Amino acid sequence: MVVLVTGANGQLGQAIQSIADNYPSIDFVFCSSSELNITDLTNCETVFEKYKPNFCINAAAYTAVDKAESEPEKAFAINVTGAQNIAEVCKKHDTILLHISTDFVFDAKFVDGIAYYDRELRLPLKSEKGLTETDVPFPAGIYGLTKLQGEQAIQATYAKHFIIRTSWVYSQFANNFMKTMLRLASERDSLSVVSDQIGTPTNAVDLAEALVKMIKFCQTEPVEVFGIYNFSNEGQCSWYDFAKEIFNQNNISINLQAIPTSAYPTPAKRPAYSVLDKTKIKEVFGVQINDWKESLKTVKR
């Protein structure tokens, strides 16, 4: 069985590479952006013709959340046109697509202790465990908007897809919040981190394992379960809590200040609340999910 991974040199791509040897029955093909540029349909067709994958994990994306506000065309080309191209070649080759999306398709917040999504409509969440796959997306910025439009392009193009929404991804690989915190702690004595954005960290290796579990499920069961799935670790925290735990687990002593989002303006607005309800992925695929603090302990540094 051939599983082709796009964006192979990114954080998730590297996390999948790190577990690939544990699955000798899967023939992984890892394509970096130089071998497979997903914005180029002809390039996509050539690569799919060469490897004829049974599954494709689309881990390629434009992920610069703030920069997307000033270069929306580039974000659109990769996150929308790129996703559509991959869906089209998957359709042509009967390849099952696992496409990675984001909690940033939502813009939810807490009001009087109740979590609401969609700032304007103020609809209450369907689940106390967080945003579900059927809650209505309402992105706050260009990155989230292009990721949502990428989801919609796939849905309109090809039925045999899984869209996996994840959040706050970190690992030993590439650039991420954990590595930024560790670097800043080595340069400074004090640090301020926002405490009013609530979500859940996701260990990229846990996400990689969940994707492989979904693929293995599809090999053995009749596949009638295509659609959107949430995946993050369990629990919830603020970015401040996440930073505090990173420093605790690494025995780093630093003056850490909790600040409101208003004190740390960024070009892109972030969701105030983006905890994902994982009930569906656990029930359908039997995926077991670690608590975020426990999973953080497993990261190699």
Ligand X SMILES: NC(=O)c1ccc[n+]([C@@H]2O[C@H](COP(=O)([O-])OP(=O)(O)OC[C@H]3O[C@@H](n4cnc5c(N)ncnc54)[C@H](OP(=O)(O)O)[C@@H]3O)[C@@H](O)[C@H]2O)c1
Task: Give the pairing type, strands 114-117 and 123-124.
Answer: antiparallel
Q: In angstroms, what is the minimal distance from the CB of 221 to ligand X?
A: 25
Query: Cα–chain-centroid distance for residue 269?
Result: 18
Q: In angstroms, what is the minimal distance from the CB of 143 to ligand X?
A: 8
Task: Supply 55's token pair.
Answer: 């599954």
Task: Supply 299's token pair.
Answer: 């990261």
Closer by beta carbon to ligand X, 32 or else 249:
32
Could you say whether residue 33 binds ligand X (CB under 6 A)?
Answer: yes
Q: Cβ of 37: how many Cβ atoms within 10 Å?
A: 20
Could you say whether residue 146 binds ligand X (CB under 6 A)?
Answer: no
Least Cα distance to 7 among 95, 98, 142 occurs for 98
Q: Decide if 274 contacts 110 (C-beta within 8 A).
A: no
* Partners of 115 in the β-ladder: 110
Q: In angstroms, what is the minimal distance from the CB of 78 to ligand X?
A: 5
Tell me, what DSSP letter sits at residue 5?
Answer: E
Residues 207-266 that bind ligand X (CB under 6 A): none
Could you say whether residue 140 binds ligand X (CB under 6 A)?
Answer: no
Residue type at 252 in one-letter notation = I
Closer by beta carbon to ligand X, 140 or else 253:
140
| From 54-62, 182-190, 258-266, 273-281, span contacting ligand X (CB under 6 A) | 54-62
| From 57-65, 151-159, 252-260, 287-295, span contacting ligand X (CB under 6 A) | 57-65
Closer by beta carbon to ligand X, 114 or else 182:
182
Query: What x/- string results for residues 74 through 93 when contact with ligand X is judged by CB under 6 A?
Result: ----x---x-----------
How far is the CA of 124 from the CAs of 120, 137, 200, 229, 242, in angstroms? 12, 13, 19, 20, 26
Residues that bind ligand X (CB under 6 A): 6-7, 9-13, 32-33, 36-39, 59-63, 78, 82, 100, 102-103, 147, 166-169, 174, 176
